[in-house]
Amino acid sequence: MKQYLKIDEWNIIEEGFNGDNHELSEGIFSIGNGYMGQRANFEEKYSGKSLQGSYMAGVYYPDKTRVGWWKNGYPEYFAKVLNSTNWIGIDFSVDGEVLDLATCEVKDFVRTLNMKEGYLHRSFIAKLPSGKEVKVDAKRFVSIVEKEIGAIRYSITPLNFEGTLSVSPYLDGDIKNKDSNYDEKFWDEVSKKSNLGQVSLVVKTKKLDFYVCSSMRYDIIQADKKVDFNGECIEKEKFAGNIVNLNVKQGEETVVYKYVSNVTSRDYKAEELLTVGKEALEKAYEKGFEVLLEEQAGAWAEKWKESDIVIKGDASAQQAIRFNIFQMNQTYTGEDDRLNIGPKGFTGEKYGGSTYWDTEAYCLPFYLSTADSRIAKNLLIYRYKQLEKAKENARKLGFTKGALYPMVTMNGEECHNEWEITFEEIHRNGAIAHAIYNYVNYTGDKSYLGQCGLDVLVEISRFWEERVNFASNKGKYVMLGVTGPNEYENNVNNNWYTNRIAAWTLEYTTEVIDYLKNNEAERYAELVKKLDLKEEEVNKWQDIIENMYYPIDEELGIFLQQDGYMDKEQILVKELDPKHLPLNQNWSWDRILRSCFIKQADVLQGLYFLEDRYDLETIRRNFEFYEPRTVHESSLSPCVHSILAAKLGEQEKAYEMYLRTARLDLDNYNNDTEDGCHITSMAGSWMSIVEGFGGMRVRDGKLTLNPFIPENWESFSFKVMFRGALLKVNIKKDKVAITNESQQGITLAVNGKDYTIAGVSEISA
Ligand code: BGC
C-alpha cells in the first residue's frame, strides 16, 4: 500500500515530485469525458518512466491473439482501445536546455485533480542542470460540454535569468500501445499540415480503418498581450508541430493556450474530418480557455447535483467516494450506445478498454440511480445490438442455438483467449439477463421488454437449455465444466451460482413471455414469429427450472460453491500467514486451484442478485461460511460482501469491506494501480454506500431504504433519481431526512414505513 496523496474533500493532491510515483499518478489523475480520455502525462518532455496515454472511446484495434497453445474456438484477435495521437504535447527549452522533470531539481511540485470542476492542475519550480530556474503552472481539461475539445493553459516564468525560451506545441501520432502483442505499431499517417499557430494531423489504424483527426491552435501571451510570433513549422512522419523562440525576462510570465479538437471516423466520414475538426476547434478557440473552463465547471456542477455523496466526519472517505463518482462520470456518459465501460476506463491499457460482465453486474446500478434512465438503457442496447454476434459465438463453440455473450468484447466478438474463462465462465450470460430485470425493476420501463429485452432473454435461455444436460443418475439437470465468478476454480461441475443464474434466467424469460402475452399481445405475436419461439421450448425451460440440480451441504445449511467443494482442505484466510497474500502473487496456480480460497463473491454473488428469494438466515449461513474463505483478490469482491453484511446487520464488517474498495486506487491497496484505476469496481463502492449503508432497494416498484450509519461518520447523504424524482437522502445518527428536489411526488418506504413526499419538499423519518 502506498499512501502519498493528500486528503481533501474535492481534490486529489500530490505534493512533491517523486518519479517513482509518476506512473501511478498518471492513472489516478486521468481526465476524460466518455468520448476521450487522457492520462496525467506531462505536457513537456519527460524522459523518466511514464506511460503516455491518450484514448479515443471506441477506436480500437484487433491485435492478433497471442497464445501458447491454440484451442479451437479461440478468437483471432484481442480488441484494444488504442493509444492514439498525443495531443497534449508542448516541449519547452531554455537557451537550448530542455525542460524535463527527470533531469531537473523539482521544487514545490503540486499536482491536483479538481473533481468539482473537472480539470487537472500542476505547478512547480524546476532548476535545470545549468542552474536556470523556471516556475510552471499548467492546467488542462477535456470538455464535457464540447466533447471533442481538450484545452491547456501552460504558463512558464524564468526566475533567475533572461534568455530564449523555445516553445514547441505539437501533435504526435507515432504512438504505440504498451500492451501490443507483437510490439507492432497500429497507426498509419493519412495527412499532416503544420502552419504557424495551426497544425493538423490525421492518422488511421492499420486495420479496421478508424481515422482520428487532431487539429490544434495556440496563442502565446506575454505581458497580457498576444505575441505576434514567428517560428518554424515541423512535419515528420506522423508528427506535426511548431517551434517558436521567444525572448523572456526574469519574472515575466509566458502563457501558452493550446486548443485541440479530436474527431474520428466513428462519427464522421473520413473525408469530412479535417473540416469538422477545424469547425469544432474554431468554436472552442473563439470561446477561449476561461469560458471553456467556466462551462466545464458548470457542467460538472450539474453532474454532482445528480450524483454526489456527501460524508460528514470522514474526509478520507469523502475524497474516496467523490473520486469514484468522478471517474465513473468521466468514463461513461451514456450518450453513445456503441460504447461501454472498460475495467480501467481511460486510465490505462490493461483489459484493453473492452467490455466485461462488470458492466451489468457492477456498473449498471450507479447509472440507473444517478442519471436519466436512457443512460442505463444504452448499456442494455449495447448488448442488444450485439445479439447476432453472441449467437455466432455460441455456434462457433458448437451450440446449435442460443446466444453466448463474450467474456471480453469490443464489437460483440469474443476477445478473451484462456479456455477456462472464454469457454467456461459462461455465468456472464446470466448477468446480462439480470441487467434487463434490474433496469425494468428500477425504472418501471416495461416497454423495453417488448422492444429489445425478450430477444436477448430468449436467446440466452436457449443457450442455457443446450448447455445443461440431464443426469439420469441424479434425475436432475446439471451443468458441467464451468468456471464461476471465483476464477480460482476452473472446470468445476455444478457451480451453484451458474446453475442458479441460468435457472433464474429461464424463470424470468417465462415471466416476461407471460407479461407480453397478456399486455402486449400484438407485439408478442410479432416476437414469437421473429424469434421462432415454440411452446415446447418454453415447456422445456419449465422442466429445467423445476429440476435443476443445486449442490448443497445440508449439515451446514449452505449452498455449495460447486460439487466437491467440501472435499477441499478447509482453512480460513485468517489462518494463513499474511506473507502468502495476495495468493495470486505468491502461490502457484496449481496450489490456488486446489485450495478452498475464493477470489471473489461467487455463491454470495447469487445471493446478492437474488436476495429477495432467500431468507435472512440462509444469507447469513452462507455469508458466514464463504466470507472467511474469500481473499477478495478481485477488486469487484468487497462491495458485494459489504452490501450483504449491511443487510445482515453486520455493520463493522460492512464498513471494513467498504474501506477495501473505496480507496483501492488512491492508496494503491492491491499494488497494481500503475496499470490504471479499477473503474468498474468504483461503481461497487457507490453500491456499498447506497445499497449497503443506505439499504436502498426497489421492491414492487417502490423505493425502499433501510439505512445505518458507520460509527465514525457523522452523517452521509446520497442522491438518487427514481422514476422522475430526484431525491437527496441524508442519513444522520438519529434520523433520516429525505428531500425531494424535483416536481415529481413519490411514495417510498424507510425502515418498513411508507412516506409520501410531494414535489420539492422534505420529510424526516
Ligand atoms: C475478475 C472478473 C472481472 C475482470 C475484469 C477479473 O479479475 O475476476 O470477474 O470481470 O477481472 O474486471
How far is 652 from 657, CA to CA, in rounded Å?
Answer: 9
| Terminal Cα distance for the chain, rounded | 40
Query: In this structure, is residue 164 part of a structural domain?
Result: yes
Taking the centre of ligand 1 as the mean of its atom positions, its distance from the CA of residue 634, in whole angstroms, is 6
Give the cell for residue 320: 474516496
Residue with cell 493550446: 258
Give the total number of structural domains in the chain: 2
> Is the shortest distance between the CB of 488 and ligand 1 below 6 Å?
no
For β-strands 702-705 and 746-750, DSSP reports them as: parallel
**Residue ranges in 678-756 assigned as alpha helix (H):** 679-687
Q: What is the largest CA-CA distance in the chain?
A: 89
Question: Long-range contact list for 235-239, CB < 8 A, 24+ apart?
Answer: 235/192, 235/193, 235/194, 237/174, 237/189, 238/172, 238/173, 238/174, 238/187, 238/189, 238/192, 238/201, 238/203, 239/170, 239/171, 239/172, 239/173, 239/174, 239/192, 239/201
Burial of 759 (0-12, 13-18, 19+ CB in 10 A): middle
The CATH number of the domain holding residue 702 is 2.60.420.10
Q: Does position 208 have pLDDT exceeding 90, yes or no?
A: yes
Q: What is the pLDDT of residues 704-758, one digit of tens each?
A: 999 999 999 999 999 999 999 999 999 999 999 999 999 999 999 999 999 999 9
* Spatial CA neighbour of 742 closest among 758, 725, 723, 728: 725
Cα separations in angstroms, 670 against 201, 322, 631, 675: 39, 20, 12, 11
Cα separations in angstroms, 119 against 143, 147, 271: 9, 14, 32
Are 26 and 101 contacting, i.e. CB atoms less than 8 angstroms apart? no
> Is the shortest distance between the CB of 602 and ligand 1 below 6 Å?
no
Mean pLDDT of 456-463: 99
Query: In this structure, is residue 231 part of a structural domain?
Result: yes
Residue 257, CA atoms < 13 Å, CB-side half-sphere: 19
Query: In this structure, is residue 42 part of a structural domain?
Result: yes
Give the residue whose CA is nearest to atom 11 of ligand 1.
634
Q: What is the pLDDT of residues 401-450, one digit of tens each?
A: 999 999 999 999 999 999 999 999 999 999 999 999 999 999 999 999 99
How far is 588 from 608, CA to CA, in rounded Å?
Answer: 31
pLDDT class of 608 with cuts at 50, 70, 90: very high
Are 289 and 153 contacting, i.e. CB atoms less than 8 angstroms apart? yes
Query: In this structure, is residue 38 part of a structural domain?
Result: yes
* Spatial CA neighbour of 208 closest among 36, 61, 56, 355: 61
Residues 6 or more apart whose CB falls under 8 angstroms from that of 714 comprise: 312, 313, 732, 733
Are 22 and 318 contacting, i.e. CB atoms less than 8 angstroms apart? no
Taking the centre of ligand 1 as the mean of its atom positions, its distance from the CA of residue 212, in whole angstroms, is 30
Q: What is the DSSP letter of 688?
A: I
**Residue ranges in 8-89 assigned as alpha helix (H):** 22-28
Give the cell for residue 364: 449498471
How far is 167 from 348, CA to CA, in rounded Å?
Answer: 28
Query: In this structure, is residue 355 part of a structural domain?
Result: no
> Is the shortest distance between the CB of 414 and ligand 1 below 6 Å?
no
pTM of the predicted structure, to 2 decimals: 0.97
For β-strands 211-222 and 469-471, DSSP reports them as: unpaired
How far is 199 from 364, CA to CA, in rounded Å?
Answer: 40
Pocket test for ligand 1, best of 356, 414, 673 (most atoms within 8 A of CB): 356
Q: DSSP labels for 117-142?
A: TTEEEEEEEEE-TTS-EEEEEEEEEE
Is residue 350 marked as binding? no
Residues 6 or more apart whose CB falls under 8 angstroms from that of 74 comprise: 65, 67, 417, 419, 422
Query: In this structure, is residue 361 part of a structural domain?
Result: no
How far is 123 from 105, CA to CA, in rounded Å?
Answer: 14
Which of 280, 305, 330 is the last residue in one of the domains?
305
> Is the shortest distance between the CB of 635 and ligand 1 below 6 Å?
no
Q: Which residues pair with 36 in a beta bridge?
A: 56
Which atom of ligand 1 lies at the shortest distance from residue 600's CA? 8
* Spatial CA neighbour of 658 closest among 622, 687, 694: 687
- Residue 693 has phi, psi (to 5 degrees) of -65, -35
The CATH number of the domain holding residue 109 is 2.70.98.40
Q: Does position 2 have pLDDT exceeding 80, yes or no?
A: no
Are 406 and 390 contacting, i.e. CB atoms less than 8 angstroms apart? yes
CB atoms within 10 A of CB 756: 11
Burial of 646 (0-12, 13-18, 19+ CB in 10 A): buried
Cα separations in angstroms, 368 against 333, 372, 422, 691: 12, 7, 29, 13
> Is the shortest distance between the CB of 487 and ligand 1 below 6 Å?
yes
pLDDT class of 671 with cuts at 50, 70, 90: confident
Q: What is the pLDDT of residues 236-289, one digit of tens each?
A: 999 999 999 999 999 999 999 999 999 999 999 999 999 999 999 999 999 999
Mean pLDDT of 341-345: 95
Which of 290, 305, 320 is the last residue in one of the domains?
305
Is residue 357 marked as binding? yes
Q: Does position 9 have pLDDT exceeding 90, yes or no?
A: yes
Give the residue whose CA is nearest to atom 3 of ligand 1.
358
Which atom of ligand 1 lies at the shortest distance from residue 358's CA? 10
Cα separations in angstroms, 572 against 61, 390, 568, 626, 628: 43, 39, 12, 9, 6
Taking the centre of ligand 1 as the mean of its atom positions, its distance from the CA of residue 71, in whole angstroms, is 22
Which atom of ligand 1 lies at the shortest distance from residue 634's CA? 7
Are 335 and 367 contacting, i.e. CB atoms less than 8 angstroms apart? no
Give the residue whose CA is nearest to atom 7 of ligand 1.
634
Provide the sign of the torsion angle of the four alpha carbons 40, 43, 47, 52, taken in this order: positive
Q: How much of the chain, in percent, has pLDDT values that exceed 90? A: 96
Which of 305, 337, 363 is the last residue in one of the domains?
305
Q: Give the range of the structural domain holding residue 742, as residue numbers without chain letter.
A: 694-765
Taking the centre of ligand 1 as the mean of its atom positions, its distance from the CA of residue 597, in whole angstroms, is 16
Cα separations in angstroms, 404 against 178, 413, 494, 703: 30, 10, 18, 33
Q: How much of the chain, in percent, has pLDDT values that exceed 70? A: 100
Residue 746, CA atoms < 13 Å, CB-side half-sphere: 28
Pocket test for ligand 1, best of 340, 427, 482, 487 (most atoms within 8 A of CB): 487
- Render the burial of 452-486: b for 16+ CB within 10 Å, e for the rest: bbbbbbbbbbbbbbebbeeeeeeebbbbeebbbbb
Q: What is the pLDDT of residues 487-527, one digit of tens each?
A: 999 999 999 999 999 999 999 999 999 999 999 999 999 99
> Is the shortest distance between the CB of 633 and ligand 1 below 6 Å?
no
How far is 640 from 658, CA to CA, in rounded Å?
Answer: 9
pLDDT class of 385 with cuts at 50, 70, 90: very high
pLDDT at residue 180 in the model:
92
Q: Does position 1 have pLDDT exceeding 70, yes or no?
A: no
How far is 278 from 280, CA to CA, in rounded Å?
Answer: 5
Q: Where are the beta strands (DSSP E) in 599-669?
A: none
> Is the shortest distance between the CB of 600 and ligand 1 below 6 Å?
yes
How far is 234 from 239, CA to CA, in rounded Å?
Answer: 8
What secondary structure, in 3-state letters, does 388-423 show?
HHHHHHHHHCCCCCCCCCCCCECCCCECCCCHHHHC
- Residues catalogued as catalytic: 487
Query: In this structure, is residue 621 part of a structural domain?
Result: no
pLDDT at residue 350 in the model:
86
Taking the centre of ligand 1 as the mean of its atom positions, its distance from the CA of residue 747, in whole angstroms, is 38
How far is 359 from 378, CA to CA, in rounded Å?
Answer: 12
> Is the shortest distance between the CB of 352 and ligand 1 below 6 Å?
no
Mean pLDDT of the chain: 97
Query: In this structure, is residue 502 part of a structural domain?
Result: no
Residues 6 or more apart whose CB falls under 8 angstroms from that of 146 comprise: 280, 283, 284, 292, 295
